[in-house]
Structure 1
Amino acid sequence: MSEQTEAVPASRQPGLGQMQADVGRRIDWRAARRAQRACCCTARPAVIAVIPPSEDRPHQTDLLLCGHHYRASSRALAAAKATVLNIDGSPVTDSAWRY
């Protein structure tokens, strides 16, 4: 893929405020905050990426990601139109996740 897509956090995408709130209500926050490890590695989760349903997957998928793996996959998450929230439930912002 030669075209690079800049990751835009859900908090900065127009019209996503309500969708973000809806997604936030569907997450089991107690379980997420008590998780000892992320889905990707043994580090504690820093964000929850909620990937919407697709043609091949009729349901949303929640991923608990550590900070490193979130930064590494932020473009792919943006391309998948994922909603990303900090583990405390607040919206992910550009400045919070810069290298």
Structure 2
Amino acid sequence: MAEATAKLCRITGTVQGVWYRAWTVEQAAARGLNGWVRNRLDGSVEALFAGPEDLVIDMIAACSQGPKAARVANVVVEEFAGDVPQGFAQTSDA
């Protein structure tokens, strides 16, 4: 079994109003990941992905493309050591 990891990602570009969060929920759930996704006031999207390292890495790679209408400029990834919820959901904006 792959080692578990948790990564916090900040996605910038044209990522709000283009179905990015709903797409992220679908993609993360399909991979069996835990975490959340939310819009940020600065126009970026923030997401927490937790689960087997190979699936988290795959999800982060997918975030570089996003849904069809998105235009991703950058994905900044950092380690996350806090509490991770079970399942994957869209949460309130930050």
- TM value normalised by structure 2: 0.32
- TM value normalised by structure 1: 0.31
- Identify the structure with the greater strand proportion: 2
- Identify the structure with the greater helix proportion: 1
